[in-house]
Amino acid sequence: MAHASRWPRLAAAFSRIGLPVAVVDLETTGGNLYQDRVTEVAVLRFENGQAKRYEWLVNPQQPISDFIARLTGIDDELVKDAPFFGQIAADLLPLLRGTLLLAHNSRFDYTFLRHEFQRIGIDFAAPALCTVQLSRRLYPQFHKHNLDSIIERMGISVENRHRAMTDVLALVDFLEKSLEEKGEEEWLNHSRVLLNPKMLPTWLPNTLAEQLYALPDSEGVLVWLDKYGQAQAVQSHTRAYFEVAAMLNGKKIPSFAQSAASIRFMPAIGPMHALWLKAQAMVQFNLRPSETVRTFTTVQFSPDEHGVLQARLVPMSNGIHPHRPYGFFLHRKGAKRALAAWAQEYGLCPDSLNILPETNAKNEPCPIQAIGQCDGSCQDANGVQQQNRRILSLAPLLPVADWGRAHEIDIRETDELSGETLAFRCTANAVALPDGRWYFDDTLPAIIKAKFKQGKTAIEILN
């Protein structure tokens, strides 16, 4: 137990926040957020005017370099008998979940905590306040805001610098002094602006708030359920908690969120996986897709009354498509040009495809036949069947905007922590589903374009 009387102003300010506050510092084997591991955890938790301290040495299950050992005083010998992170998680998680997390350079500590919990299969996220940013707001006249500079500037007494609890206590002493100098209102106003992620609003039902605070800050799909357990909306997320907290603190809160009683979350290893899961959730819960933000165009082939396959330019709408889409175009005019060029390249009859220019009268003879490039055999029964087969075999070669010469691809996504890899078949900016149908979302073109930039590690061109 640490006496909150040492920090009376801070305890009073924290009591106005509406959540317990956990001031956190970690020591790690290095600065790589994916490969390095935690070696020490210190938490000073404020709640109901009380402050309690918790600290653990942690066996990182990897060697500690001499440089880090000299910097922190934590070496392999010191942690060889310490518990693994998974062995302290049951005690640590309740101290952090549903709290406001404060740390100096919070992105570092917050991300390391998320990844350590994720490695053992636990979702973790929390509203967070970076005290580096808070120091910059409170003291803009100073250029340096690292903890060493603050300690020197504020005259804070510190022993055994770079151990986790020592740094936590130094940080809390700084926060207390800054409250004394700046006043509670200014201090809290700056703090609320800097929350990242944000806290959840207080109007949420307690059960729903608990479920939302248990979300991870990573990819996945969120299903919003009403009090009857009926799904009202499905959302895919890159950073689930961060994005939900921002939405619920926004000016326009969706009706499904206002009436929600519970949620269901499905984790994903990347944005493609998240959209793939979203598509299946929409089918499972029989939900309609959202309207497309912008209009894209694709091609469908359907028979006329004589069984002749004709091309139709149709909007590429969000949702499930029962048949494979052919081609993908940013504008309808470009789609017309590309369709005509495709037919000419492969010797397909534009009259049968019904893609002749509108200036060509209906009763006029086919201009291709008129100039002797077609003998008209495409109009008889055998010719129709032959052209239909060729259309379906060549349709996959219609161009896809921003794909270059690629028409069909596999996209691979890998979880950087677990190493799990999944592949997704895509064509015309739609992703194949297990039941043979296709799913399109207007966020997919940008996601796939970004995958192309990653090169062969993310994309295999099949056609």
Strand runs labelled E in 333-400 = none
Q: Which residues contact 394 (CB under 8 A, 6 or more apart)?
A: 342, 346, 348
Nearest CA-CA partner of 171 in 126, 130, 128: 130
Nearest CA-CA partner of 44 in 11, 87, 72, 18: 11
Task: Answer yes or no: is 376 within a domain.
Answer: yes
User: At 200, is the secondary structure helix, strand, or coil?
Assistant: coil
The predicted structure's pLDDT at residue 368: 61
- Contact status, residue 37 vs residue 62, Cβ threshold 8 Å: yes
- Contact status, residue 341 vs residue 329, Cβ threshold 8 Å: no
327 and 414 assigned to the same domain = yes
Nearest CA-CA partner of 147 in 159, 156, 137, 160: 156
Q: Where residue 358 falls among pLDDT bands split at 50, 70, 90?
A: low
pLDDT tens-digit series, residues 392-451 = 999 999 999 999 999 999 999 999 999 999 999 999 999 999 999 999 999 999 999 999
Is the link from the previous residue into 325 a cis peptide, with omega within 30 of 0? no
116 and 251 assigned to the same domain = no
Task: Answer yes or no: is 275 within a domain.
Answer: no
Q: What is the mean pLDDT of the chain?
A: 92
Task: Answer yes or no: is 277 within a domain.
Answer: no
DSSP structural state of residue 401: T
Q: What are φ and ψ of residue 69, in 5° steps?
A: -60, -40
CATH code where residue 241 lies: 3.40.1440.10
251 and 364 assigned to the same domain = no
List Cα–Cα distances, 137 to 131, 155, 188, 189, 195, in angstroms: 10, 20, 11, 10, 13
Angle at the Cα of 80 from the Cα atoms of 79 and 81, rounded to 5 degrees: 90
Nearest CA-CA partner of 26 in 103, 86, 89, 93: 103
The predicted structure's pLDDT at residue 307: 87
Domain C-terminal end among 164, 194, 224: 194
Range of the domain at 231: 206-267
Q: What is the mean pLDDT of residues 32-51?
A: 96
pLDDT tens-digit series, residues 378-392 = 666 677 888 899 999
- What gap in Å lies between CA 372 and CA 417, rounded to an integer? 64
Domain C-terminal end among 166, 194, 222: 194
- Contact status, residue 72 vs residue 162, Cβ threshold 8 Å: yes
The predicted structure's pLDDT at residue 288: 86
308 and 429 assigned to the same domain = yes
Task: Answer yes or no: is 199 within a domain.
Answer: no
186 and 216 assigned to the same domain = no
Task: Answer yes or no: is 200 within a domain.
Answer: no
Least confident of 138-147, 163-172, 371-380, 388-397: 371-380
Q: Is the dihedral of CA 93, 94, 97, 103 positive or negative?
A: negative
371 and 401 assigned to the same domain = yes
- Contact status, residue 238 vs residue 280, Cβ threshold 8 Å: no
Task: Answer yes or no: is 282 within a domain.
Answer: no
259 and 328 assigned to the same domain = no
- What gap in Å lies between CA 447 and CA 451, rounded to an integer? 6
Least confident of 21-25, 209-213, 294-298, 412-416: 294-298
On the question of pLDDT at 294 being above 80, the answer is no
310 and 234 assigned to the same domain = no
Task: Answer yes or no: is 298 within a domain.
Answer: yes
56 and 103 assigned to the same domain = yes
Nearest CA-CA partner of 124 in 278, 267, 273, 269: 267
On the question of pLDDT at 1 being above 90, the answer is no
Q: What is the mean pLDDT of residues 176-199?
A: 96
Q: What is the pTM of this model?
A: 0.86
Q: Which residues contact 80 (CB under 8 A, 6 or more apart)?
A: 59
List Cα–Cα distances, 386 to 11, 187, 377, 398, in angstroms: 81, 77, 10, 19
On the question of pLDDT at 180 being above 80, the answer is yes
pLDDT tens-digit series, residues 94-129 = 999 999 999 999 999 999 999 999 999 999 999 999
292 and 361 assigned to the same domain = yes
- What gap in Å lies between CA 39 and CA 53, rounded to an integer? 17
Give the neighbor-by-neighbor strand order of the sheet with 297-303: 309-315, 297-303, 326-329
Number of domains observed in the structure of the chain:
3
User: At 39, is the secondary structure helix, strand, or coil?
Assistant: strand
Task: Answer yes or no: is 278 within a domain.
Answer: no
On the question of pLDDT at 459 being above 70, the answer is yes
Domain C-terminal end among 170, 194, 218: 194
On the question of pLDDT at 365 being above 90, the answer is no
95 and 159 assigned to the same domain = yes
CATH code where residue 140 lies: 3.30.420.10
60 and 167 assigned to the same domain = yes
The predicted structure's pLDDT at residue 305: 87
